[in-house]
Structure 1
Amino acid sequence: MAKHQQCKRRVQGLAAVEFFLVLPLLLLLLAFPLYFGRYCYHYSVAHAAATSAANYMSKVPLAEATNTVKAPAAFGVAREIFQEMTSDLRTGGAPPLVMIDCVQHQCGGNAKPNFVRVSVEMTVEDIFFRDITQLSLPIFVTVTIPYRGR
């Protein structure tokens, strides 16, 4: 009977050693899906925020869009819309870079712009397993919408 218990303890000890040898691999296999899920979430939020900012800019009245004093204020509101929608994101790196401009004709110029474009650049770092994976991927989002202001 004592020999049976001794053998049982050895098998349990061996199972514990195997578990701790395999544990880093299991954590690594968990790290990648978590990171890419987080990356996709950040991309979708950035795209939605850029779309909302571009929609706002596309509906700014023509009198404001062609006014050199009022156009920067409209840009500021669009930037605030983007920042409000992305305020909960934790990229782990620098804050997102947001560029808002009018295509084919300058906002704040004399001519009516044809399109409004919002471009976003950000980097998403792995905040869960940073020391192990050192993952860091960029996100680039560009939304271009026809100008509809009157």
Structure 2
Amino acid sequence: MSTLREQFTADLKTAMKAGEKGKVAAIRLIQSALKDKDIEARGAGKGEATPDEILALLQKMIKQRQESIAIYDANGRPELAEGERAEVAVISSYLPKQMSDEEIKAAIEEVIAETGASAVKDMGKVIGALRAAYAGQMDFAKVSPMVKQLLGG
């Protein structure tokens, strides 16, 4: 498949033929969110969402579902949490392989060396370079504290 959009459509057809209702619902959610993103972009005078924007959208969708899972688990609603976990599994399948903590640390150290960052005030420069190079491959909520620590913060 050449694009994620085409992959969503092909996977939706396959899931429908196989009768995988959960997967069909999750892919339709992705397509709906993507359509909303495209409409928003058109309103701002841009074209369709770029591949990086699609990856960011998928990560946002996963984060929303993880928050819902925590709420459902805390309130004794395991059946709802299970549905959200199934959606997370489908959405995650479209993201690039996530980097391990060791790989993230090595990437941060490499970017710090490349950018010449030396203090916490350079954190934005480091995070920006990481986002450009590793979009979709790392959880930036975890990355920020690691960058701060490595810059001596």
TM-score for both structures, normalised by structure 2? 0.25
Higher helix share: 2
Higher strand share: 1
TM-score for both structures, normalised by structure 1? 0.26
**Larger RCO (alpha carbons 8 Å, 6+ apart):** 1
